[in-house]
Amino acid sequence: MISEGMFDPVHYAKVRLPVLQAETLPNWCYTSEAFYRREVERMFKRNWNFVGREDELPKPGDYVALDMFGEGVIILRDKSGRLRAFANTCRHRGTKLLQGRGQCPAIVCPYHSWTFALSGELVAAAGMERTEGFDKARYGLIPIRLETWEGFVFLNFDDKASSLRDYLGNLPDYLASHSLADMVCVRRREYDLACNWKIYLENAMEEYHTPTVHKLSIGAQVMVREDSAGAWNGLYMPTEQTIALLAEDLGSAFPHIPTLDAKAARGMYFVVIYPMTFFAFTQDCLWWLQQYPQGAARTKVVIGSCFPRATTARPDFAERVEKYYRRWDKSLPEDNAISELQQAGLSSSFSKPGRLSFHEPVVHDIANWVLDRVLEERATGGAA
């Protein structure tokens, strides 16, 4: 593995070629902490990162505390019903304020009871009355940018970044007929995996592995590349029936989303929103895989499952949705296991870049999207 000049474009010339001439990323892109830190600084902290659904925090005071690549974040709904995000650190001596999920009328620091309103304002700081020039108004929680699209919540750590709408490009138009604002998240599951975040995303966006990895569950899938403008990439898979159920459970399928356009009614979309969110939009539901990297070789993956509100209101919903859960609980561990195997193999000091199949164009796109952001600028005046 190289350590010096790791970000020199010269090491990546073959990754930059067209997919059928290209090589895969060098293994250090998956194993090096230095490469990972560069991704955090140049990608994750500058781009919009998906964090969940608005409907997961329905009432004022509902909150969730997340670890986003080392940054502690609180997302909550304030008293006026507005969603807000803050850095999860007390303005006194820095203690983490909230953990997990829950409900609170205000945020009380567990160390010295400094108390913050849901708006972030510091409303009480007992024992600070003798501290010279201490002005509570200057010690509110530090806000983080939060924007939403059709109920999907995204954060951005960069004040200068353009809007979420700009970032998503033509994706909202593309999925307009899915009535996404009307979806409700009904289940979340977390997996803690010994793999780099890119490995998981690459796996989700290529079909080449399906006849091998999923041969006993969901089987082979065939997909078509979609035109995208914006920070996303999509694959369309023609299918008359939902793929969110195993073949033997198709009798339990819920009705299709009534507003689907002709194409959406006869297939489904796999979408990656860069840098690290995967969505599957089927005719009857959607699920996402959101990644929370914990270092070069460790990733927490959250799967969220959503159905139209009308479907969740059906009297037989609780019973029939179990068949959907069964499908996810079967296929995801297969992808989790192969991802950890791939990470283990890539840690070989003999690992060399491989070639890509025509089944893997998005794997190539992901690599190049990352390189566009993490590499040093090419020296000017060269032949390139």
Partner 1 sequence: MSDDIFDPALYADVRRPLAEARTLPRWCYVSEAFHQREIDRIFMKTWNFIDRVDAIPNAGDYIAADTFAGPIIVLRDREGGLRAFANTCRHRGSRLLVGSGNCRGIVCPYHSWTYGLDGKLLGARGMERTAGFDRRHYSLKPIRLETWGGFMFVNFDANAGSLLDHLGELPRKFASYKFDDMVCTRRSEYEIACNWKLIIENAHEDYHTQTVHRSSLGNQVTEPEENPVGNWDAIFLPLETSVAVLPGETAPFPHIPALEGRLAHGTYFTLLYPATQFACVQDCMWWLRVTPTAPSACRLNVGFCFPKGTAARPDFAEKVEAYYRRWDIGIAEDNSTGTLQQAGLHSPFYEPGPLSWKEPKVHSIALWILDRVLDEPATLSPRAAE
Residue 249 CB, nearest approach to partner 1 (Å): 25
Alpha carbon distance 3, 17 (integer Å): 24
Shortest approach of partner 1 to residue 322 CB, angstroms?
A: 29
349 or 380, CB closer to partner 1? 349
CB of 344 vs partner 1, minimal distance in Å: 4
Q: Which is nearer to partner 1, 94 or 333 (CB)?
A: 333
Residue 310 or 332 with smaller CB distance to partner 1? 332
Nearer to partner 1, 315 or 358 (CB): 358
Q: Which is nearer to partner 1, 18 or 315 (CB)?
A: 18
Helix, strand, coil % over all residues of the chain, rounded to 5: 30, 25, 45
Identity (one letter) of the amino acid at 213?
V
**Cα distance between residue 163 and residue 230, in whole Å:** 12
Task: Answer whether 319's CB lies under 8 Å from 301's CB.
Answer: no
CA–CA distances in Å: residue 115 to residues 75, 98, 332: 17, 12, 41
CB of 50 to partner 1, least distance (A): 25
Answer yes or no: are the C-beta atoms of 168 and 149 closer than 8 Å: yes
CB of 356 to partner 1, least distance (A): 6
**Omega before 275 within 30 of 0, i.e. cis:** yes
User: Shortest Cβ distance from residue 4 to partner 1 (Å)?
Assistant: 14
Determine phi and psi for 380, rounding to 5 degrees: -75, 160
Nearer to partner 1, 99 or 347 (CB): 347
Q: In the chain, where do the E strands start and end?
A: 49-53, 62-68, 71-77, 83-87, 101-103, 107-108, 115-116, 122-124, 143-149, 152-156, 183-193, 224-225, 232-238, 267-273, 277-281, 286-295, 298-308
Nearer to partner 1, 215 or 309 (CB): 215
The helix/strand/coil state of 192 is: strand
List residues near partner 1 by CB under 8 A.
20-21, 24, 27, 30, 202, 208-209, 211-213, 338, 341-342, 344-352, 354-359, 363
Rounded distance between C-alpha atoms, residue 252 and residue 319, angstroms = 9
Minimum distance from residue 3 beta carbon to partner 1 (Å): 9
DSSP 333-347: HHHHHHHHHHHHHHT
Nearest approach, Cβ of residue 360 and partner 1 (Å): 8
Alpha-helical (H) ranges within 116-251 are 164-168, 171-174, 197-204, 210-213
User: In terms of CB distance, is 75 or 338 closer to partner 1?
Assistant: 338
